[in-house]
Amino acid sequence: MNSLRIYNTLTRDKQIFVPLVAGEVRMYVCGVTVYDYCHLGHARVMVVFDMVKRWLKALDYRVMYVRNITDIDDKIIRRASENGEPIAALTERFTRAMHEDADALGVERPDFEPRATAFVPQMLAMIEILEQNGYAYQAADGDVNYAVRKFAAYGQLAGFAPDDLRAGERVAANTAKQDLLDFVLWKRAKSDEPAAARWDSKWGSGRPGWHIECSAMSHALLGKRFDIHGGGQDLQFPHHENEIAQSEGAHGHPFVNYWMHNAYVQIDDEKMSKSLGNFSTIRDVLANFDAEVIRFFILRTHYRSPIHYSDAHLEDARGGLTRLYTALKETAPDTSPLDWSEAHAQRFRTAMNDDFNTPIAVAILFDLALAVNKSRDQALARQLKGLAEVLGLLARAPQLFLQKSASIKTVLNPTAIAARIAERQAAKRAKNYSLADQIRAELLAAGVVLEDKSNELTEWRRA
- Whether the CB-CB separation of 40 and 265 falls below 8 Å is answered with yes
The domain defined by 288-402 folds into: Four Helix Bundle (Hemerythrin (Met), subunit A) (1.20.120)
Mean per-residue pLDDT for 61-82?
97
- CATH 3.40.50.620 maps onto the chain at 19-265
- Whether the CB-CB separation of 71 and 116 falls below 8 Å is answered with yes
Is residue 38 annotated as involved in ligand binding?
Answer: no
Structural class in CATH, domain 19-265: alpha beta
Mean per-residue pLDDT for 67-85?
96
Each residue's pLDDT tens digit, 115-167: 999 999 999 999 999 999 999 999 999 999 999 999 999 999 999 888 776 54
Three-state DSSP string of the chain: CCCCEEEECCCCEEEECCCCECCEEEEEECCCECCCCCEHHHHHHHHHHHHHHHHHHHCCCEEEEEECEECCCHHHHHHHHHHCCCHHHHHHHHHHHHHHHHHHCCCCCCCECCEHHHHHHHHHHHHHHHHHCCCEEECCCCCEEECHHHCCCCCCCCCCCHHHCCCCCCCCCCCCCCCCCCEEEEEECCCCCCHHHCECCCCCCEEECHHHHHHHHHHHHHCCCEEEEEEEHHHHHHHHHHHHHHHHHHHCCCCEEEEEEECCEEECCEECCCCCCCCCEHHHHHCCCCHHHHHHHHHCCCCCCCEECCHHHHHHHHHHHHHHHHHHHHCCCCCCCCCCCCHHHHHHHHHHHECCCHHHHHHHHHHHHHHHHHHCCHHHHHHHHHHHHHCCCCCCCHHHHHCCCCCCCCCCCHHHHHHHHHHHHHHHHCCCHHHHHHHHHHHHHCCEEEEEEECCEEEEEEC
Tell me the C-alpha distance between 286 and 291, whole Å: 6
Tell me the C-alpha distance between 288 and 256, whole Å: 40
Each residue's pLDDT tens digit, 102-123: 999 999 999 999 999 999 999 9
Looking at residue 246, what is its pLDDT?
A: 98
Model-level pTM? Answer: 0.85
Each residue's pLDDT tens digit, 244-298: 999 999 999 999 999 999 999 988 666 656 556 656 899 999 988 999 999 999 9
DSSP bridge partners of 266: 271, 308
Q: Other C-beta atoms within 10 Å of 171: how many? A: 12
